[in-house]
Amino acid sequence: MGSKVVLLRPKRFGDERGWFSEVYNARVFSKYGIADQFVQDNHSLSVTAGTVRGLHYQSAPFEQAKLVRCIRGRIFDVAVDIRRGSPTFGRWVGTELSAENGLHLYIPVGFAHGFVTLEPFTEVIYKVSNIYSLENDGGVLWNDPTIGIDWPLPEGVEPTISSKDRRQPLLCDLNSPFEYDGVPLELVEM
């Protein structure tokens, strides 16, 4: 599968008690081309709807693939192709992840990642394939007009954005540390 962005729909088995879902199984995920070894789990709480986090990536030797899911509330999750030489450089894909729909989004190395919360008190958990490194932390401006992400901000809500994310470079000023691997941006549903 290479470096495709993958939307996963883990099965839920329900009865009168609720439901059960296997949210990660390395053997099953490898069938979809996701063979990363995840080494760290991250958990975020965003208090207000309209909180934007991103667009983030990490460069080598601490590059990260991510497996994202929302466990409370809803988010609109985005991956942006930032691989030099890619025919889809600067294009994005996005989808809604929620506690209710149980979807996961896999974002491979070479893509910037971000999301906006669609409800207050939203919690997101994501696995990463490498540890956090401040020196290798990078990003792209969340509202870069060249990328043109159609963020579905709740009506009348001004986005809540960290000072770090407000200072990220535009795509045209990014010296991307990633090279195109022959797989153009595509959102694959499994």
Cα 136 to Cα 7, 16, 39, 121: the distances in Å are: 26, 47, 17, 29
pLDDT at 1 over 50: no
- The residues spanned by each domain of the chain are 5-189
Identify which of 8-22, 108-122, 150-164 has the greatest average pLDDT: 108-122
For the four alpha carbons of 47, 38, 176 and 75, in that order, the dihedral sign comes to negative
Superfamily of domain 5-189: Jelly Rolls (2.60.120.10)
Q: What is the pLDDT of residues 125-153, one digit of tens each?
A: 999 999 999 999 999 999 999 999 999 99
Would you please indicate which residues are annotated as catalytic (active-site) residues? 56, 126
Contact assessment for residue 112 and residue 54, using Cβ atoms and an 8 Å cutoff: yes
2 pLDDT more than 60: no
